[in-house]
Structure 1
Amino acid sequence: MQLTKEIFVKLQESVEFFRSFTNGELLNLLKLAQTESFKDEEVVFREGTRGDKMYIILSGKVRISRPLGGGKEETLVVLESGACFGEMGIIDQSPRSARATATGSAVLMSIGAPVLGQANSGVAFKLYRNFSVMLAGRLRDSNAKVQDIAEKDRNSSQKIKDMLKKKMEGKDANMQGADLNYADLSGTYMNNANLAKSNLVRTTFKDTKLKGANFSNAKFAASQFANVEFEETNFAGGDFSGAVFKNCNFGNCDFKAAQFQGADLSASMKVEVAPKKDTKGAG
Structure 2
Amino acid sequence: MDATALKKVALFEGLTQGQLAKVASIARPRSYPRGTFLFREGESGQEMFIVAGGKVRISKNVPGIGEEALGVLEEGQYFGEMSVITDNPRSADAIAHTECTVWVIQRDLLDQLMFTDKELAYVLLWTFVRTLSDRLRESNDRLKLFFATSRF
TM-score (norm 2): 0.86
Within a 5 Å distance, the mapping from 1:254-273 to structure 2 comes to none
Q: Secondary structure at 1:104's aligned position in 2? A: coil
Question: What residue number does 2:123 align with?
Answer: 126
* Pairing partner for 2:143 from 142, 146, 162: 146
Q: Is residue 46 of structure 1 aligned with residue 40 of structure 2?
A: yes
Bigger relative contact order (CA 8 A; separation at least 6): 2
Q: Is residue 98 of structure 1 aligned with residue 98 of structure 2?
A: no
Q: Is residue 75 of structure 1 aligned with residue 72 of structure 2?
A: no
TM-score (norm 1): 0.48
Larger Rg: 1
Question: What residue number does 2:51 align with?
Answer: 57
Letter in 1 for 2:142: K
Q: Is the 8 A contact 2:6 2:24 kept in 1?
A: no
RMSD, aligned CA: 2.0
Q: Could you list the runs of 4 or more consecutive aligned residues of structure 1 that deviate by over 6 angstroms after TM superposition?
A: none
Classify 1:49/1:20 alpha carbon distance in 2 versus 1 (closer, same or farther; 3 Å). same
Within a 5 Å distance, the mapping from 1:1-283 to structure 2 comes to 3-4=1-2, 8-13=3-8, 15-68=9-62, 72-119=66-113, 120-153=117-150, 156=151, 183=152
The number of equivalent residue pairs is 148
Q: Is the 8 A contact 1:66 1:73 kept in 2?
A: yes
Per-residue CA shift, 1:158-215, capped at 9, x if unaligned? xxxxxxxxxxxxxxxxxxxxxxxxx2xxxxxxxxxxxxxxxxxxxxxxxxxxxxxxxx
Q: Percent identity?
A: 35
Classify 1:136/1:63 alpha carbon distance in 2 versus 1 (closer, same or farther; 3 Å). same
Classify 1:69/1:143 alpha carbon distance in 2 versus 1 (closer, same or farther; 3 Å). closer
